Amino acid sequence: MKDLFGYVVANMEKLNESQKGIYRGYYCGLCRSLKKQFGNFGRLTLNYDMTFMILLLADLLDPETKEHTGRCAVHPGKERVMLENELIDYGAAMNILLAYYNLMDDWKDEGKKSARTAAKHLARFMPGIEEKYPRQARAVREGMAELDAEESRSPRDLDTAANIFGRLLGQLFVYRKDFWAEDCRAFGEGLGRFVYWMDAYEDLPKDMKKNRYNPLALIYGQPDYEDRVAEMLKDTLGECALILERLPLVEHLEILRNVLYSGVWSRYNQLKKAGKGERK
């Protein structure tokens, strides 16, 4: 499976202006942190998935947050608010960690020279990330190896690969071992399974053409295929929702709800609509 990013996004149309400002502030802050820690090349790994994780952890742990304004190469015409705190810096490191192993996976499986070149740019940052976050680095390294082994064979069931990726992501949602660590881990695991199945759903037509691993191939063509996929996604997000609602979240709760209850489904509906011709 490839490109396990870009599914955990907000539905911007349903956020008010204040919420949009906070969401963009964290996203732009993540971009700023990526540049500060890992240079301009690091910014190319920017995605909204880590923004969601940062929002949840920041609401839960309430770090001291600073606000900056500035322009960037992407938005040179208007100053942007960029937030800064320790969790944004943490999210940037996790962003690089995931991007590096994903690029290495692309190089190994598809021989993409561009992926190998990009991974080489990020490789020099790996020792520092591994030293600072050994538990998370080990989880990603071992999880991706386990996922690679699973994907080297024919799919045995719908759950094994998704569970592997879920366990991997669950470790990243645990910033520190505290009272909330278990809920954060479980939330990340559920979200990881959702992301994996979303990626499988999007990639199924080309995976089948190229005879590549995809667990959804086991049920593709069955009359209830679309219903089963939707139910799988609903079940795992339902687990996340239960955790979200019991955590003591206040400041960013409505944004997190927007992503979990609306944004991710907007993306799913786009994929379903776009893929109707190929999935008939």
Chain segment 28-84, per-residue pLDDT in tens: 999 999 999 999 889 988 988 999 999 999 999 999 999 988 777 666 667 889 999
Tokens of 244: 């979200």
Tokens of 67: 């606000």
- Please determine, for residue 1, whether its predicted confidence score (pLDDT) is greater than 50: no
Residue 108, pLDDT score: 73
Segment 165-179 shows an average pLDDT of: 96
Residue 111, pLDDT score: 66
d(CA 78, CA 86): 26
Q: Which residues contact 8 (CB under 8 A, 6 or more apart)?
A: 48, 49, 52, 191, 195, 259, 263, 264
Instruction: Look at 71 and 189; give whichever has higher pLDDT.
Output: 189
Return mean pLDDT, the chain. 91
Residue 229, pLDDT score: 97
Q: How much of the chain exceeds pLDDT 90, in percent?
A: 78
Question: pLDDT class for 4, splitting at 50, 70, 90?
Answer: low
Question: pLDDT class for 279, splitting at 50, 70, 90?
Answer: very low
Instruction: Look at 270 and 59; give whichever has higher pLDDT.
Output: 59
> Scanning the structure block, which residue is given the tokens 């366990």?
167
What is the secondary structure of the chain as a DSSP string? Answer: -----S-S---GGGS-HHHHHHHHHHHHHHHHHHHHHHHHHHHTT--HHHHHHHHHHHHHH----EEEEE--SSSTTS-EEEEE-HHHHHHHHHHHHHHHHHHHHHHHHH--HHHHHHHHHHHTTHHHHHHH-HHHHHHHHHHHHHHHHHHTS----SSHHHHHHHHHHHHHT-SSSSTTHHHHHHHHHHHHHHHHHHHHHHHHHHHHHTT---GGGGTTTSTTHHHHHHHHHHHHHHHHHHHHHHS---TTHHHHHHIIIIIHHHHHHHHHHHTHHHH-
Tokens of 266: 């907007």
CA 56 vs. chain centroid, Å, equals 13
| CATH (residue range 12-263) | 1.10.600.10
- Please determine, for residue 150, whether its predicted confidence score (pLDDT) is greater than 90: yes
Chain segment 192-248, per-residue pLDDT in tens: 999 999 999 999 999 999 999 999 999 999 999 999 999 999 999 999 999 999 999
Domain spans of the chain? 12-263
Segment 235-264 shows an average pLDDT of: 97
- Please determine, for residue 11, whether its predicted confidence score (pLDDT) is greater than 60: yes
Segment 268-280 shows an average pLDDT of: 69
For residues 68 and 81, the answer to whether their CB atoms sit within 8 Å is yes
Q: Which residues contact 15 (CB under 8 A, 6 or more apart)?
A: 23, 255, 258
Residue 271, pLDDT score: 86
Residue 145, pLDDT score: 94
Rg (CA), the chain: 18
Residue 272, pLDDT score: 87
Residue 2, pLDDT score: 44
Q: Centre a 10 Å sphere on the Cβ of residue 206 and count the other Cβ atoms it contains.
A: 11
